[in-house]
Amino acid sequence: MRRLTALPILCLLMPAGALACPDPPDHGAALDVLFEQVQRAETERDARLLNNEMWEIWADAPDAHAQDLLDEGMTRRASYDYDGAVAAFDALIDYCPDYAEGYNQRAFVNFIRQDYAAALPDLDRAVSLSPRHLGALTGQAMTLMALERPGEAALVLRRALDLNPWLTERHLLPMLEQAERDI
């Protein structure tokens, strides 16, 4: 009997037609162009502008409801309401389990809270859904570093740098490689 009463309440909380998340937008062609351009960038500033365009693509949610959840989580994170941010990202992931940015953003909040064990599975999922997601890849590298797994961190960071050699995290690679040799 509880299921019958919960469904109308759920329907009131969700916008009309939002019971099933559509597939995430396919921005593969646009990302191909941006990755090609960042490889040829002559300055760090040029590369950053291209990277910002990539972030706009990754933050393009599948529909308006998903976008609202993403924006809510990011706003809450920016105002240090980490519990509220995680709740918004949880709702986004429940609604759109195939949208990588929900996992990436929840991982970022957990990374900020230094809950690296919670961040890593979300980053793994984000990368499995979007293998060229630089934020998720660098997040994985930073999380693996925090978990004192420098060899794995170096591998992931190299993968990210193959996509964008201008990433600010590039300066960490020599330290990770040294730690890798010291093991």
pLDDT 10s digits, 101-157: 999 999 999 999 999 999 999 999 999 999 999 999 999 999 999 999 999 999 999
Dihedral sign from CA coordinates of 113, 119, 108, 77: negative
| Dihedrals phi, psi of 98, to nearest 5 degrees | -105, 10
Q: Is 46 exposed, middle or buried (0-12, 13-18, 19+ CB in 10 A)?
A: middle
Q: Looking at this protein, which amino acid is placed at residue 7?
A: L
The one-character DSSP state at 183 is -
Q: How confident is the model at residue 175 (pLDDT cuts 50, 70, 90)?
A: confident
How much is the pTM? 0.86
State the DSSP H helix or E strand holding residue 4, giving kind and residue range, or none if neither.
Answer: helix 2-13
The torsion angles phi and psi of 22, rounded to 5 degrees, stand at -70, 165
CA within 13 Å, CB half, 56: 8
Mean pLDDT for all residues in the chain = 90
Q: What is the pLDDT of residue 2?
A: 37
DSSP code, position 18: -
Instruction: Give the tokens for residue 155.
Output: 């591998």
